Chain A
Amino acid sequence: MKKVLFASIFTLLLASLTACGNNSSSENGEVIVYNWGEYIDPDVIGQFEEETGIKVIYDEFETNEIMYPKIEAGASDYDVVCPSDYMIQKMIENDLLAEINFDQMPNAVANIGTQYYEQSKSFDPENKYSVPYCWGTVGILYNKTMVTTEIDSWSDLWDESYADNILMQDSVRDSFMVALKLNGFSMNSTNPEELEIAKNSLIEQKPLVQAYVIDQVRDKMIGNEAALGVIYSGEAIFTQRENPDLEYVIPKEGTNIWIDSWVIPKEAKNKENAEKFIDFLCREDIALKNFEYITYSTPNNAAKELIEDAEIKNSPIAFPTLSDYSNLETFEYLGVDADELYNQLWKELKSE
């Protein structure tokens, strides 16, 4: 409760500071969007404003963990947010989300493939709270000119001949996913013994790692700084456009198959506008335009049909046939205690 008190003091202060600049509301109101950085085509926002007369106020976050406390404190009135699978589960469990009225959203119902709603059930069991926006896998991006062996396994990231040529993800769950899968465990493991083994694998790997980075995997791989890097599939297509020597592979031990979906916070003031915004993004021409800009796989089947470039349309990176791979999993929210254990082990690895 104290959190709410502090948050309200802060909002009051901020509100009194910004009160003067806030009276330019549009004829049809506004919608406040909170999305990942670089995760939408800016033209799409302009087009939405033009067609609906609804003003979009756009804000970005870097990680799910930065986004969550802001929504929890209710300090900002976001109407639409785009968290990942496990974070949506956490938000549902903590009663932070509003049910979406799918009757108002013909595009979301018609265009999004049913398999993605099916997959969403692992974190949103009744498909009541979320509309899939992007999905993909996590794999290894490698430079064909810099590797001498065939790359198809997470164990290649432990190959000493690539010392100082490996980039790992600088985030707890993503790095532990790699180590857990390498050892044949579930990436949602909360078993302290399994996690200890995974940590020891990561410690063993640390001398070979050039750097732990997030967005920079992309730039460093394009610039031939490293031979191997753990990367999200959506970034892989972008990097290949810039550097044709790069190749993406889903390791044989299995990996993370993730979904980022739109949700509406319970406290949203413009719920109807939020639904209009989500539905607009599900329209096939808009989803296509957006896909071409951000290159993350779209769950929008109608948009996928419209892709003209056959190479992209049939790309195993953008649209892998999931039945070809085994041990695919989606992140689950593991609870406060498991989160703490992961973070503790992560610090032990980093201070090694």
Chain B
Amino acid sequence: MNKKWLSFPYLLWAIGFIIIPLCMVFYYGFTDRDGVMTFENVVAIFSPEHRKALFLALLLSLISTILCIILAYPLSLILAKMGNGKNSFLVIIFILPMWMNFLLRTLAWQTLLEKNGVINSILTYLHLPSLTIINTPAAIILGMVYNFLPFMVLPIYNSLSKIDPNVMNAARDLGANGFQAFLKITLPLSMPGVISGITMVFVPALTTFVISTLLGGSKILLIGNVIEQEFTQASNWHLGSGLSVVLMIFIVISIVVSSLSDKDGEGAGF
């Protein structure tokens, strides 16, 4: 049975929209305006403002990822415990916002958080102090957590619901209390889901420029913003590509880490 030809459309897609663009990024990243090979665009990451933007992006995406785990893990436990049938409705509620465009959802947060926005109007009406997190790093983290939370919930939920209840029962039979059973059975068995969730939240959070522009008022420069600006404002595709190559290193690291700890591909199955 040779069905390799079935993958042909995908192969074409991959060449046209992944391989060729990637080659172009590398070509631009390692040349200057005259087409001469150079490492300058990659080394440029060490200049103070790029270093600061990268560090800030790493910090904010790390905080968002941790917050996502804290929120998503208990939630996934509850969803998984409810058993099949009852929980599908709840799962849909979590996927539902993803049906709406990502940009619209972020713009909505802007309207909610603004000085005269919805939240502050309600707070003022109730004579409560107003909330001033718009255009601060806190608003960016909020935007990241809100937008990427489903990518954490789904893989964790997926690996939790695959755990055979008999394994839990066996642990309890052999004298483990609830907490011990969680620590020795549930947690290790759900790790693949957590790891894949971390990749799926950390990578888009690290590279975002839309969230920081809309919720940070363009006052906070993340590495994604630097790259975007090199393309759209500075028309320096070489520097933009060079910095993208550096960012790719971080993405590759996080993917390698997740594939090493998830050899059976359990967490990726949704």
Which A residues fall within an 8 A CB radius of B? 1-2, 6, 9-10, 13, 62-63, 65-66, 68-69, 170-172, 206, 209-213, 220, 223-225, 336, 339-340, 343, 346-348, 350-351
- Smallest beta-carbon distance A89→chain B, Å: 15
| Residue pair B229, A343 in contact (C-beta under 8 Å) | yes
Task: List A contacts of B53 (CB < 8 A).
Answer: 347, 351
Task: List B contacts of A213 (CB < 8 A).
Answer: 217-218
Partner of B233, one of A10, A172, A225, A348: A172
- Smallest beta-carbon distance B185→chain A, Å: 47
| Residue pair A223, B232 in contact (C-beta under 8 Å) | no
| Segment at the interface with A among B90-98, B168-176, B219-227, B260-268 | B219-227
| Segment at the interface with A among B70-78, B193-201, B234-242 | B234-242
Partner of B236, one of A63, A66, A340, A351: A340
| Residue pair A9, B237 in contact (C-beta under 8 Å) | no
- Smallest beta-carbon distance A6→chain B, Å: 6
| Residue pair B16, A351 in contact (C-beta under 8 Å) | no
| Residue pair B217, A210 in contact (C-beta under 8 Å) | yes
| Residue pair A350, B225 in contact (C-beta under 8 Å) | yes
B24 at the interface (CB under 8 A from A): yes
| Residue pair B219, A65 in contact (C-beta under 8 Å) | no
Q: How far apart are the CA atoms of A176 and B67 in the complex, in Å?
A: 38
Task: List B contacts of A9 (CB < 8 A).
Answer: 20
B115 at the interface (CB under 8 A from A): yes
| Residue pair B135, A347 in contact (C-beta under 8 Å) | no
What are 22 A-B pairs with beta-carbon distances under 8 A? A1-B35, A2-B27, A2-B35, A10-B20, A13-B16, A62-B232, A66-B232, A171-B233, A172-B233, A172-B234, A209-B217, A211-B219, A220-B114, A223-B116, A336-B33, A343-B233, A347-B49, A347-B50, A348-B48, A350-B219, A351-B48, A351-B53
- Smallest beta-carbon distance B8→chain A, Å: 15
Partner of B237, one of A63, A69, A209: A69
| Residue pair B116, A225 in contact (C-beta under 8 Å) | yes
Q: How far apart are the CA atoms of A198 and B226 in the complex, in Å?
A: 21
Task: List A contacts of B105 (CB < 8 A).
Answer: none
Nearest 5 Cβ contacts at the A-B interface: A211-B217, A212-B218, A351-B49, A343-B234, A350-B221
- Smallest beta-carbon distance A47→chain B, Å: 32
Task: List A contacts of B237 (CB < 8 A).
Answer: 69
Task: List A contacts of B234 (CB < 8 A).
Answer: 65, 172, 339-340, 343
- In this complex, what residue of A is CB-closest to B230? A343
Which one of A210, A346, A347 has the highest number of Cβ atoms from chain B below 10 Å of its Cβ?
A347
Partner of A347, one of B33, B116, B213, B229: B229
- Beyond known contacts A10-B20, A209-B219, A343-B234: 11 more, CB 8 A cutoff: A2-B35, A211-B217, A211-B219, A220-B114, A343-B233, A343-B236, A347-B49, A347-B226, A350-B218, A350-B221, A351-B52
Task: List B contacts of A13 (CB < 8 A).
Answer: 16, 20
| Residue pair B221, A347 in contact (C-beta under 8 Å) | yes
- What does the 1/0 interface line of B11-55 toward A look like (CB < 8 Å)? 000001000100010010001010100000000000011101100
| Residue pair B24, A6 in contact (C-beta under 8 Å) | yes
Task: List B contacts of A224 (CB < 8 A).
Answer: 116
| Residue pair A210, B135 in contact (C-beta under 8 Å) | yes
- Smallest beta-carbon distance B235→chain A, Å: 5
Task: List A contacts of B213 (CB < 8 A).
Answer: 170
| Residue pair B235, A69 in contact (C-beta under 8 Å) | yes
Q: How far apart are the CA atoms of A6 and B19 in the complex, in Å?
A: 13
Task: List B contacts of A346 (CB < 8 A).
Answer: 229, 233
Task: List A contacts of B115 (CB < 8 A).
Answer: 210, 225
Task: List A contacts of B135 (CB < 8 A).
Answer: 210-211
- In this complex, what residue of B is CB-closest to A339? B234
- Smallest beta-carbon distance B108→chain A, Å: 14
Task: List B contacts of A62 (CB < 8 A).
Answer: 232
Q: How far apart are the CA atoms of A346 and B16 in the complex, in Å?
A: 35
Which one of B27, B33, B234 has the highest number of Cβ atoms from chain A below 10 Å of its Cβ?
B234
Q: How far apart are the CA atoms of A16 and B232 in the complex, in Å?
A: 27
Q: How far apart are the CA atoms of A225 and B134 in the complex, in Å?
A: 12
Task: List B contacts of A347 (CB < 8 A).
Answer: 49-50, 53, 221, 226, 229
- Smallest beta-carbon distance A84→chain B, Å: 14
- Smallest beta-carbon distance A211→chain B, Å: 3
- In this complex, what residue of A is CB-closest to B237? A69
| Residue pair A348, B49 in contact (C-beta under 8 Å) | yes
Q: How far apart are the CA atoms of A347 and B221 in the complex, in Å?
A: 8
Task: List A contacts of B31 (CB < 8 A).
Answer: 2
Partner of A212, one of B20, B27, B219: B219
- In this complex, what residue of A is CB-closest to B23? A6
Q: How far apart are the CA atoms of A209 and B219 in the complex, in Å?
A: 8
- What does the 1/0 interface line of B236-258 toward A look like (CB < 8 Å)? 11000000000000000000000
| Residue pair A63, B27 in contact (C-beta under 8 Å) | no
- In this complex, what residue of A is CB-closest to B35? A2
Beyond A210-B217, A350-B221, whether A65 also contacts B233 by CB under 8 A is yes
